[in-house]
């Protein structure tokens, strides 16, 4: 930044990953990408040496992760499962076996073989419909990066020795990096890479450390030991701030910290509007270890338990007993609050287990979720048995994803009844009043919501896919992402239709997509009459705060206006709710 040394208030814009404001000096952590060179091996002896190099590097990586786990500070205990997941990836057939196979078959050096393996994994994960799970490719990238560093003899930089209070700047930060940090010394994170759902963002939110990610060339543009302002709420970094800017952000920092203390203090209060409209707030989880955070942030149960992790993280399919123990533990911890378990929402193309299915031209609309479960019935029945058995130990609901027609929900219930009949015959207890729900995430399900409502006990609207399929806009495609609009009048009318159908049949209707955690959407969702919002745990205090400072009457006024607009909605009037 020498060319800017005399300039003040140089503003960089990234992704707002974790809210809050900090002012301080930067500390660069070297996590640059490793340069990978292609090398052809001439004979079998060299191939054997490369395979041995890979195995030794994996072993060193395993030792490093074990050490991190042993020394992880108390503040990071809730996230220890991430490092466990990384250890599992080291054994994964898709990574370990595939890399060894590529070295031997292609007769190439291990670094290049690892690159090929990672490219294949990226291609497979890019086809995953669930954005959260799709983003877990980052876990594999982190593990591959650790192996590459060990192959290069660089090991792992010890960042536990940071002595001063600093803002960490890095190309990227893995869970291993963050678990090493002394959070009393780290005021904030800035990374070139990352998204709102990356682990760096999730951990920063959990620890309430302001963070800006996806800043591309941050490590080039921000100097080491340089004074900056980091605004994690706006995704903004100000280099070389002027005195006036420092004073302005000092005031903002104080106001924000007071605001944060207020909303966290009220997180366990009911989500009820000023004029008495009550809505239930629950949490979305992917793994058992996240349950504690959900309850700590004031949730009234689990509204969406994604169950894919045990299938994706293992070389073999999980046994019924393993699934049962996992579900039972979640239910027992959350009881008496409910746990809504979503059955497998996967397709064959991204299994890390030993399933072999043919590749599909368009997997996003192919054999996945409930369709996959119908084809792979033993896998489906095994999971249903585990869920039913767990229902004996808590308040469990079961939810089927990607329902597009009545025949699918009827067939899913028939299989469930068959499983329950088997359990009865085997004298295995389960909740005979187990509630069954359908996700509403494709337009056809909206169109027949009145018919589906007669078949189930509840709906849960999955807005991530409903928006995407309704507007034919892939939000990960930079050219059309602007079309992905939760405020689109068509979408709001669809939600209203689903809620109306549910109310007419007297069933519960929830929302579990990202729209439910968008502060600007809350007044609209209140007015639409949803019974429940299920969101990421860290959003719960803010969403409750917005609801508790809103009125249903004012929300209905906004909804009436929004349903009538013809073009993009002006959300300026809604920002009042977001600032509640």
Q: Which class for 80: exposed (0-12), middle (13-18), buried (19 or more C-beta within 10 A)?
A: middle
Determine whether 266 is an active site residue.
no
Q: Cα angle vertex 140, ends 303, 146, to 5°?
A: 135
Q: Which class for 351: exposed (0-12), middle (13-18), buried (19 or more C-beta within 10 A)?
A: buried
Helix (H, G, I), strand (E, B) or coil at 176: helix
Helix (H, G, I), strand (E, B) or coil at 35: coil
Q: Which among 440, 303, 323 has a CA at the least distance from the CA of 380?
A: 323
* 453 alpha carbon, distance to own chain's centre: 29
Helix (H, G, I), strand (E, B) or coil at 154: coil
Determine whether 373 is an active site residue.
no
Kindly give the pairing relationship between strand 236-239 and strand 227-231: antiparallel
Contact 307, 320 (CB under 8 A): no
Unique residue bearing structure tokens 């010890």: 158
Q: How far apart are CA 207 and CA 192, in angstroms?
A: 20
The residue from 331, 373, 512, 521 that is catalytic is 512
Q: How far apart are CA 393 and CA 390, in angstroms?
A: 6
The residue from 199, 337, 488, 538 that is catalytic is 199
Q: Which among 270, 90, 79, 102 has a CA at the least distance from the CA of 178?
A: 79
- For the chain, the straight-line distance linking the first and the last C-alpha, in angstroms and rounded, comes to 39
Q: Which among 476, 409, 394, 472 has a CA at the least distance from the CA of 439?
A: 409
Catalytic machinery residues: 199, 512
């Amino acid at each position: 930044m020498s060319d800017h040394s005399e300039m003040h208030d140089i503003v960089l814009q990234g992704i707002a990953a974790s809210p809050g404001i900090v002012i301080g000096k930067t500390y660069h952590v070297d996590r640059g990408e490793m340069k990978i060179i292609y090398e052809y091996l001439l004979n079998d002896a060299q191939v054997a040496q490369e395979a041995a190099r890979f195995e030794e590097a994996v072993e060193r990586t395993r030792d490093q992760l074990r050490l991190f786990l042993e020394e992880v500070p108390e503040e990071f205990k809730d996230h220890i499962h991430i490092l466990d997941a990384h250890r599992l990836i080291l054994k994964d057939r898709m990574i370990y076996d595939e890399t060894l196979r590529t070295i031997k078959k292609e007769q190439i050096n291990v670094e290049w073989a690892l690159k090929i393996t990672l490219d294949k994994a990226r291609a497979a994960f890019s086809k995953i419909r669930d954005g959260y799970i799709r983003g877990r490719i980052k876990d594999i990238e982190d593990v591959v990066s650790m192996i590459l560093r060990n192959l290069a003899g660089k090991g792992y930089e010890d960042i536990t020795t940071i002595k001063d209070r600093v803002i960490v700047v890095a190309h990227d930060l893995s869970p291993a990096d963050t678990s090493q940090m002394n959070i009393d010394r780290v005021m904030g994170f800035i990374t070139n890479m990352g998204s709102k759902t990356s682990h760096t963002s999730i951990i920063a939110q959990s620890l309430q450390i302001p963070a800006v990610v996806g800043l591309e060339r941050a490590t080039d543009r921000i100097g080491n030991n340089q004074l900056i302002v980091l605004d994690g709420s706006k995704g903004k970094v100000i280099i070389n701030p002027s005195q006036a800017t420092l004073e302005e952000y000092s005031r903002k920092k104080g106001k924000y910290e007071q605001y944060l203390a207020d909303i966290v203090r009220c997180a366990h209060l009911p989500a009820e509007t000023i004029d008495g409209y009550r809505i239930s707030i629950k949490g979305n989880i992917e793994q058992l270890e996240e349950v504690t955070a959900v309850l700590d942030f004031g949730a009234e149960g689990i509204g969406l338990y994604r169950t894919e992790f045990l299938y994706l993280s293992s070389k073999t399919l999980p046994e019924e007993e393993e699934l049962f123990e996992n579900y039972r533990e979640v239910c027992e911890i959350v009881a008496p609050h409910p746990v809504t378990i979503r059955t497998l929402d996967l397709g064959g193309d991204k299994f890390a287990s030993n399933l072999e299915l043919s590749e599909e031209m368009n997997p996003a609309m192919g054999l996945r979720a409930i369709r996959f479960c119908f084809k792979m019935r033993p896998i489906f029945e095994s999971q249903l048995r585990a869920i039913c058995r767990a229902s004996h130990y808590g308040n469990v609901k079961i939810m089927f994803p990607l329902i597009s027609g009545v025949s699918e929900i009827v067939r899913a219930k028939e299989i469930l009844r068959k499983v329950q009949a088997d359990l009865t015959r085997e004298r295995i207890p389960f909740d005979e009043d187990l509630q069954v729900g359908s996700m509403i995430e494709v337009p056809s399900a909206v169109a027949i919501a009145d018919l589906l409502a007669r078949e189930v006990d509840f709906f849960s609207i999955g807005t991530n896919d409903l928006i995407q399929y309704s507007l034919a806009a892939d939000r990960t495609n930079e050219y059309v992402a602007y079309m992905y609009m939760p405020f689109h009048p068509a979408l709001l009318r669809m939600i209203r239709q689903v809620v109306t159908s549910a109310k007419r049949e007297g069933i519960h209707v929830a929302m579990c997509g990202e729209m439910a955690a968008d502060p600007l959407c809350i007044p609209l969702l209140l007015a639409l009459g949803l019974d429940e919002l299920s969101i990421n745990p860290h959003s719960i205090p803010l969403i409750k705060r917005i609801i508790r400072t809103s009125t249903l009457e004012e929300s209905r006024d906004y909804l009436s206006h929004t349903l009538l607009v013809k073009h993009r909605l002006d959300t300026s009037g809604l920002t009042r709710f977001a600032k509640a």
